[in-house]
């Protein structure tokens, strides 16, 4: 593979892959926050 094709491929897939991975992580963290909300946990800690 010549340098130009290599560079463009790695740049496109690399930038896209980085954004995609971090976007998926952001969605999963949002989901975690919904599944384990702070208020609910504070209440269960108080009961305990």
Rounded Cα–Cα distance for residues 30 and 36 (Å)? 10
d(CA 8, CA 16): 12
- Determine if 38 is a binding residue for another protein (CB under 8 A): yes
- Min dist. Cβ of residue 46 to another protein (A): 13
Q: How far apart are CA 39 and CA 44, in angstroms?
A: 9
Is residue 36 within the footprint of another protein (CB under 8 A)? yes
Nearest to another protein of 18, 47 (CB atom): 18
List contacts with another protein (CB under 8 A): 1, 3-4, 6-11, 13-15, 17-30, 32-33, 36-38, 40-42
């Amino acid at each position: 593979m010549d340098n130009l094709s290599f560079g463009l491929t790695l740049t496109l897939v690399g930038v896209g892959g980085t954004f995609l991975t971090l976007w998926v992580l952001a969605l999963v963290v949002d989901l975690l926050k919904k599944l384990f909300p702070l208020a609910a946990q504070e209440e269960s800690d108080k009961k305990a």
